[in-house]
Amino acid sequence: MLTLSADVAAALRAGLPVVALESTLVSHGLPWPANLDTARAAEAAVRETGAVPATIAVLAGTPTVGLTESELTEFAEAKGTFKASRRDLGAAVALGRTAGTTVSATMALARAAGIRVFATGGIGGAHRRTSASDPFDVSADLVELARTPVLVVCAGAKSILDLPQTLETLETLGVPVIGFRTDEFPAFYTRGGGGDASCRVETPAEAAAVFAAHVRAGGAGALLANPLPQELAIPADEFAAALTQAEADAVTARITGPRSTPFLLARIAELTGNRTLAANRALIVANARLAAEVAGCLLAHPGERPAGDENPPRQADFR
């Protein structure tokens, strides 16, 4: 069921570095035309580093690894696009839906295609609970990291989440949090405050070596946390005030479930004069560039076949 673009298929056959890119950022995370501009800039950053970008989505029921320029443009302009996490891939395929893939779904499809590095903005995590009656809501992204051997380059978890609980959950699931030139887990729009990274690296080559060793030791996914540049970061107290107001507005508007994150991010952008939008775009591109550098370094560390995987995915299976 998986379709690979011609350039992605050729790169994988030739053993060139390939970087997966998430499509929910295009379909749900950013407004038009910033979504298309940012997606193009992220792909360009990957190419400038010598790697091949593979933006992943489901197009009319077909999981597609590597959107063409026309597909990307049409996808960015589409209205009412389905949002698919790992659990929703079967429904999107069977019902012929066009869907943006979240971190968990993108990781699964990247792994199926043989791609080892994935760049995004921020991962999902444990949601904040304002009362004891609130459900314990943990993103499927964390579970996917625990079972799928893909390195996810991000700017931490989204700042609207419970970051200490997110880090605790990652520790429980055995997912390394690798800080890129930082000892802290970045908080997406703010540089620090998310807690401690489990280790620190200074170069893409070190990041590649840590991830490869983690997989060889029987681990699965890992996070490479890349902080937002200081000049674009939102002061922590200013962001906290905007988040409090956005959460109150969500309650008033009765926004719950999957609609919560897009609503909160859009409202916070309004409250900060779109500074979070500019920060979001910048960190997506920076993460794409770093992911491409790490993907190149990973070529020195051949992928390991998972235990019990007698028939791992082959390029020929997905023509």
The candidate with the shortest Cα–Cα distance to 317, out of 115, 122, 114, 178, is 114
Of 22, 144, 184, 247, catalytic = 22
Q: How many other C-beta atoms lie within 10 A of the C-beta of residue 183?
A: 10
Residue 79 annotated to the active site: no
Residue 83 annotated to the active site: no
Distance of CA 245 to the CA centre of its chain: 26
Written as six digits, the tokens of 161 are: 């989440």
**DSSP-derived secondary structure for the chain:** --EE-HHHHHHHHHT--EEEEESHIIIIIS-TTHHHHHHHHHHHHHHHTT-EEEEEEEETTEEEES--HHHHHHHHH-SS-EEE-GGGHHHHHHTT--EEE-HHHHHHHHHHHT--EEE-S-B--BPP-SSTTS---B-HHHHHHHHS--EEEESBB-TTS-HHHHHHHHHHTT--EEEES-SB--BTTBSS-S-B-SEEESSHHHHHHHHHHHHHTT---EEEE-PPPGGGPPPHHHHHHHHHHHHHHHHHTT--GGGHHHHHHHHHHHHTTTHHHHHHHHHHHHHHHHHHHHHHHHTTSPPPPPTT-SS---GGGG-
Q: Report in angstroms the alpha-carbon separations of 84 from 61, 81, 141, 279.
A: 11, 9, 12, 25
Distance CA 180, CA 185 (A): 9
Of 43, 144, 158, 293, catalytic = 158
Which residues are marked as active site?
22, 158
